[in-house]
Structure 1
Amino acid sequence: MDIVFFGNISGGGVDSACFNLVNKLADSHKITIISTGFSEPPALLREDVAYYHLKSDNILRMNLEYFKLLKKLSPDIVVTMEALSGMVSFLPTLLCRKKYIVWEHANYYQNQGVAYIQIVRAIELLLSDAYVVLTKRDFQTFQRKFFFKRRLKQIYNMFSKQSEGNYNIASKTIVSAGHLRPIKNFDSIPEVASIALKNHPDWTWKIYGSGTDEYLEYLMEKVREYGVENQVEFCGRTNHLIEIMRESAVYVLPSLYEGLPMVLLEAKSQKLPIVSFDIETGPDEILRDGINGYLVEPYQKKKMAEKIRFLIENPDVRQSFSDKSELDLPLFSDDTVVKQWLTLFEEIYE
């Protein structure tokens, strides 16, 4: 089967989810990626996966460029990563009469800065061959909110990295990672750190990810406001997050919205205890509260700080959480997820 994946390949969790899946699918199918982001194929992508970059800089020209490329490639199925990418891929795919799957990476409540996102989703639910969401909770929400839902499917993102070595109980580093933008809520970290680390000057909190200069300066202002310059550090983007996690003590997710936060799966795979806000989708299907992490009511920064401080002061609890960190990871295994995608392809192409 010839399958095209389309989306904005520009770094982040969506890319990781895409590469994990297509690198496995390429064992038995011809896979092509068409991107509006990076012009060159990322290093994590298999060499036998074809990669095309749309050069146009506005949506109308992008639609035309995509249409011409799709006619040339003539795939059996198109998978669009994120509903908003359908603004480019949807009409050309229908005109080319190709099977069309939307792979939604945001949850229902994320509008991604677009007021009409629910209209886009409703149209795609009506006219696509399948609409895949990431979590069971989001599946239930989409079922409640939309009239056209018979094409709705739920498939977790795939994650298969295995831990190497044991949990580093001696580490005094907290780690967080993601794009530096408001939705990730990294501006809450300085306040949380000022409480959690107050009596632990030898502990540090490192945040990995890139963003605009303006937003980074805003984050640094927050660091100075709460007087945690010596303990909170914004480290920039890294290609070695797994190795960094391996040497860390705790992972913290302060996000306000996520689809399925792959970074939590990465943290679990490296046996890290986790503290996360219990946001609309994702964390409660990855963590077991009080068993391998803590789920904190969203926006409750003081409660998050208290949970972090408790873990700092109780290494035996950190070790216990670490020992149970890999619970539920089989739900996201290669075999489980690839089988679900292959079944979906067969269903819509038969």
Structure 2
Amino acid sequence: MNQNQPIKDICFVIHSLQAGGMERVMSELLNFFAAKKEYRVHLVLYGIKRDVFYTIADNIKIYRPDFTFDNAKRLKSTIKTHFFLRSTIKKINPISVLSFGERWNSMVLLALYGTKIPVYVSDRAQPDKSLGKVHNLLRAFLYPKATGIIAQTQKAEDIFKRMYPHNNFKVIGNPIRQIESTGEVRENVILMVGRYIKSKQQDVLIEIFSKLNAPDWKLVLVGYDHLKQKNQHQWEALAKQLKVSDRVVFAGKQEDVEHYYNTSKIFAFSSASEGFPNVIGEAMSAQLPVVAFDCIAGPSDLVIDSINGFLIPLNNKELFAEKLQFLIDNPWEIESMGKKSKAFITQFEMNYICTEFENFIVSN
């Protein structure tokens, strides 16, 4: 950096930094920019839960509302949040704002409407997912006002181009953490990582697992109840009903997910709705073959069918079970596909993807 070059203020806006794929990507972008001397990094956390799960650099300045978001007085709290966002970001006066979250980007765009502060937005979920009449109308009006729109996959960009009249789209996949081998012994484990929410369909995976001829294998589910859904108890009951409760492990929330990647043999992903599934990329980095439902966006950008895993038509449980059984019965295929997974995922290396973000939101 040129010593005479002024430091640039850049602002990242997100409702939460709780455990989750979107939140992890945001934390990694924050750390990438914070490590560069030419930037002063600001983080605005404005959702209901404002604690930080991920480790972020000490030189990042964090802003939180000085009031609690009261769901019982939702309209009042939303209006207060709107003015908090507007006043806080105007004081920061950044060269650029990056906002994450399909339900939240509209609030940020509305709060900064008319300020001339460049705002870049990125949805982090299924691109054609309806958010309800009000949210859909807000997005239709506000997204064209954004300086730029970031899509996670080519399929997502194609959908967004049909939805929003805009000429500044950019496809940027997620930065994938490279999972280094720890030399731990791999066990007969099928792993899934994801919050225990209905769209992830761990119950479907438990049902599929119960049909396998694999008495010495376990299904390990890393995750936790979320979105006020209390699914773990029901899914534990389902495993018991299907007589596999002794082989289905609910591992809960884990900070050391690497241990699970490094001690498993197959990664299974039963989600029905995605934006860009980070956990698939991490599993591939850990040299695991992946069996995944081919939901609308995400898995098909990572899994090359029959090369580094298998893409299954959505909710074809029979074929999903068939491919898992194939891998279980052919351990050399697990090893071969796993090596191809690791080789493929290097294109989503952290610094490369973060630089793509930098080039778009700073140099654009």
What TM-score comes out, normalization by structure 1 length?
0.91
Q: What secondary structure is seen at the aligned counterpart in 1 of 2:149?
A: strand
Distance 1:106 1:213, change over 3 A: closer
Q: Measure the CA separation in 1 of the matches of 2:210 and 2:169.
A: 44
Whether 1:31 and 2:41 are equivalent positions in the alignment is yes
In the alignment, structure 1 residue 70 sits paired with structure 2 residue 89: yes
Aligned to 2:163: 146
Change (3 A) 1:119 1:153: farther
- Looking at structure 2, the residues matched to 164 and 251 of structure 1 have their Cα atoms a distance apart, in angstroms, of 16
CA shift for structure 1 position 7: 1.3
- Which of 4, 8, 12 aligns to 1:5? It is 12
Distance 1:190 1:334 in 2: 33
Q: Report the Cα distance in structure 1 between the residues aligned to 2:187 and 2:127, rounded to whole angstroms.
A: 37
Q: Say which of 55, 60, 63 aligns to 1:44.
A: 55
Give the aligned residue type for 2:60: V
TM-superposed CA distance for 1:110, in Å, is: 2.3
Cα drift, residue 129 of structure 1: 0.3
In the TM superposition, what whole-angstrom CA distance separates every residue of 1:51-96 from its partner, at most 9, and x where no partner exists? 2223441211111222222233222211110232124322222244
In structure 2, runs of 5+ residues without a counterpart are 1-7, 70-76
Deviation at residue 165 of structure 1 after TM alignment: 4.7
- 1:226 and 2:242 matched: yes
SS in 2 for 1:256: coil
Q: Quick check: 1:192–1:305 contact (8 Å CA) kept in 2?
A: yes
SS of aligned partner of 2:314: coil
| Structure 1 counterpart of 2:172, one-letter code | I
Aligned-partner Cα distance in 2 for 1:123–1:167: 52
Structure-1 residue corresponding to 2:104: 85
Superposition deviation, residue 147 in structure 1: 4.8
Q: 2: distance between equivalents of 1:284 and 1:223?
A: 29
TM-score, reference length from structure 2: 0.88
Residues 38 and 173 from structure 1, CA distance in 2 versus in 1: closer, same or farther, beyond 3 angstroms? Answer: same
Residue 161 of structure 1 is matched in structure 2 by: 178
What residue is the counterpart of 1:210 in the other structure?
Answer: 224
| Change over 3 Å in CA distance of 1:302–1:115 after alignment to 2 | farther
**What is the aligned partner in structure 1 of residue 313 from structure 2?**
297
TM superposition shift of 1:187? 1.5
Of 257, 260, 273, 1:257 maps to 273
Higher deviation after alignment, 290-299 or 44-53: 44-53
Q: CA RMSD in A?
A: 2.0
Q: Matched residues in 1 for 2:204 and 2:88: separation?
A: 44
Q: Quote the residue 2:288 is aligned against.
A: 272
Distance in 2 (alpha carbons) for counterparts of 1:179 and 1:43? 16
Query: 2:168, 2:103 → 1: CA distance?
Result: 18
Cα shift at 1:179: 1.2
Identity of aligned pairs, percent?
Answer: 21
SS at structure 1 position matched to 2:341: coil
Unaligned runs of 5+ in 1: none
SS of residue matched to 2:113: helix
For residues 140 and 315 of structure 1, the distance between their equivalents in structure 2, rounded to whole angstroms, comes to 38
Which residue pairs with 2:4 in the alignment?
Answer: none
Name the residue aligned to 1:179: 195
